[in-house]
Structure 1
Amino acid sequence: MSLFNNWTQELEPLLIKYKGKKHPLDYKNLYQLVVMVVLSAQDSDANINKIAPALFEVYPNMQSLAVSNVDALLPHISKVRNFGTKASWLIEIAQTIKEDKNIPKTMTELIALKGIGRKSANVIMRESGAQAEGIIADLHVIWVAPRIGLISESKDGNKVEKQLMQVLSKEIWGEIGMAISFLGREICRPTNPKCDICPINHICEYYKSITG
């Protein structure tokens, strides 16, 4: 673990670089985001972006999804991983929410919906501008945060989030998870990370270990 205890200040270059940058899922509104977040579990954002336009032509809003059924939805998401399970989740979500205007923006209400865990809820809340109640801990954050020296290593996203919430000031919760995620996507790759262009290499434990 790093000796730095003022992580909020140390991570500022990262927040400046990525603050407000839209999530890689190419959604047009909150309804689309909810659907795409559910579909993207254990799948790639790129794959979900590819199938989304045709899906949303048939199902433009929560109302249209709510009056549909699993069998009708399946052909439109058949190229998505675990599409059968996700189809039933989406129909249940739509029948619970009924209309786009009813989409919740709090952690408690979001994780009560089928197929939405804390990570997905944090993404939805961040993108909708809701008050953060946690920190996004996706696959990128899970490998990048320990590498920097922010937290100890864990493959469990909820444990990673909990650790991050303990060491980071609440004022940056809404942006820091996505900022670390973008760092992982663009610079801090699992292999051959581009350490020389990293905005926070001066505080990174991994960078110190390879530069001596």
Structure 2
Amino acid sequence: MADRNWQKDIQPLIKKYKGKKFPLDYGNTYQLVVMVILAAQDSDAHINKVAPDFFKAFPDVKSLARAKEGDLHALLGKVRNFGNKSKWLMSLAAQVKDDKNIPLTMEELTALPGIGRKSANVIMRESGVQAAGIIVDLHVVRVAPRLGIATGTDPKKIEKQMMDVLDPKDWGEAGMAISFLGRETCRPTNPKHAECVMKDVCAYYKSLNN
């Protein structure tokens, strides 16, 4: 890890995915927050299917604040962990009260129910505000150690290791770029090395060719 200049080496990957929208079909910040909470331990594709009916019923924070738990269960019954997620959404709406009050800082977002650092990083990146951390989802947990930019399997420790070697100006894009690499190229089995923009600096690729 120490012998690489990751700030320089990650630039081709950031360039490839810079500004690419997160794979949730949201239309505004309220929808983004709701969908990020729902997508935890579920798939983005599944949440994209569930969301339109949910947002017809609850188009904004005000309507969600008036919701009854049973109404949410009826719409979210196929979402993983829907019981807790319904409680989190109702509690969040009761606290925030209005769309315009949705916070966009790490401290305020992670104080809300159902939002951890990863979710807050995604919300901040998609909202175009200054990053306060690096997105570490399940793809990043797998791909970052493969690349050699981090070690271990603890998302918080992986995030800290990457923050230590990357410039804060790239934090917002770096995690998302590694996530997209994991989704599209660096698959768990049979990674597509030939089309990977990181293969020249990748520890895993190097180990295969030694």
**TMscore range, shorter length:** over 0.9
Cα deviation, residue 118, structure 1: 0.2
Cα distance between partner residues in 2 of 1:72 and 1:47: 19
Cα deviation, residue 174, structure 1: 0.9
Q: Which amino acid aligns with 1:176?
A: A
TM-score (norm. length: structure 1): 0.97
Match runs of 1:132-147 below 5 Å: 132-147=131-146
2:195 to 177, 194, 197: 197
Aligned to 2:151: 152
Contact 1:2 1:205 in 2 (8 A): no
Cα deviation, residue 69, structure 1: 2.0
CA distances 1:61-102 after superposition (whole Å, capped 9, x unpaired): 111101112122110011100101100000000111011111
Cα deviation, residue 57, structure 1: 0.6
Give SS of 1:39's match.
helix
Aligned to 2:109: 110
Give SS of 2:179's match.
helix
Aligned to 1:3: 3
TM-score (norm. length: structure 2): 0.98
CA distances 1:147-181 after superposition (whole Å, capped 9, x unpaired): 00111122x21121111111211110011000000
Runs of at least 4 residues off by over 6 Å? none
Cα distance between partner residues in 1 of 2:117 and 2:130: 14
Q: Which amino acid aligns with 1:50?
A: K
RMSD: 0.9
Aligned to 1:35: 34
Aligned to 2:58: 59
Instruction: Give the count of matched residue pairs.
Output: 210
Cα deviation, residue 2, structure 1: 5.8
Say whether residues 1:50 and 2:49 are aligned partners: yes
Give SS of 1:28's match.
coil
Aligned to 1:124: 123
Q: Which amino acid aligns with 1:202?
A: D
2:164 to 166, 171, 176: 166
Q: Which amino acid aligns with 1:177?
A: G
Cα distance between partner residues in 2 of 1:69 and 1:97: 17
- Among the aligned pairs, what percent are the same residue? 60
Structure 2: give runs of 5+ residues left out of the alignment. Answer: none
CA distances 1:4-45 after superposition (whole Å, capped 9, x unpaired): 1x2111111101100000000111111001000000111111
Aligned to 1:185: 183
Structure 1: give runs of 5+ residues left out of the alignment. Answer: none
Cα distance between partner residues in 2 of 1:138 and 1:200: 19
Q: Which amino acid aligns with 2:94?
A: Q
Aligned to 1:83: 82
Cα distance between partner residues in 2 of 1:2 and 1:45: 35
Cα deviation, residue 131, structure 1: 0.8
Give SS of 1:80's match.
coil
Cα distance between partner residues in 1 of 2:56 and 2:209: 52
